[in-house]
Structure 1
Amino acid sequence: PEDKADAIDEIEQNGTRAMMVGDGINDAPALTNAHVGVAIGSGTDVAIESADVTLMRDDPADVLKALNVADATISKVHQNLFWALIYNATLLPIASLGLLNPALAGLAMAASSVSVMTNSLAFINYDPHRKYAFLPLRPLARLRR
């Protein structure tokens, strides 16, 4: 067990981030030391408590799926922040200078919220088996499957 934790520490000494996947009591120290600890769902309670992420199945491919979901989620958050920032950086100053009717500014704010929500709903079509790519909203696509 100490060797695993020491190996994680050695990897992370130069600033590299390490991920540890484990399922047993002897993996707990390494799971705790790693930047991201991943426990297999059928593992011991100690390993599950020590990990940052717990996979529900014993399939090692789920580690890759979890990474894909994490990347896709971060990408979606960045997209939503971009659209919210565009609204705040353009329309709020225009409205505060009195160049935009307050009712239109309120409508634009609502439209900004709806665009962020719609962009988030496009995530429904995401498949964790693939790398994330921008997904347009296709609400009826799920009904056709």
Structure 2
Amino acid sequence: MKNGTNVGALPPLIGDVMTDQKHYIDNLFADTWKKLKLTSRIKAAGFTKRSGIDITEAVFLLLLWKWINVPSIAMFSRKALGMLSRVKKDVMYDLLKREDINWRAFNLQTAKGIYQQNTLGQSRIRAFVLDDSIKTRRGKKMEGVSSHLIM
């Protein structure tokens, strides 16, 4: 059977999950989402959305898009979005463009939660960096925003 995804182009962990017949990537991601309590972390970071789908669903899809390393939201929406949600790609693009979304607070909340859940206080590890890459963005309040990949 021919698989449409070039597994060699994906990071090893994701490539292994994509080819594993026993696990579905969206279920694995959803389980990790619950374990890390990302819904409450999104609320704690102050993410809001006025209408349509819930903000947590939109963030879930954005993080899933980054995690599976699809080059663009448009390609992600063509290949997978319809199977996962009723969200349109415009919702994801709009969420990325919003200047009032504090991705750094969300990143800090997530890193802090992982640190506490894994009792790293007594460990030699003194920092937990989820992703330290910088994606240059333009806008009134945007000096530089980290590109977030949680996993």
What is the TM-score normalised by the length of structure 1? 0.23
**Larger RCO, structure (CA 8 Å, separation 6 or more):** 2
**Structure with higher strand content:** 1
**Structure with higher helix content:** 1
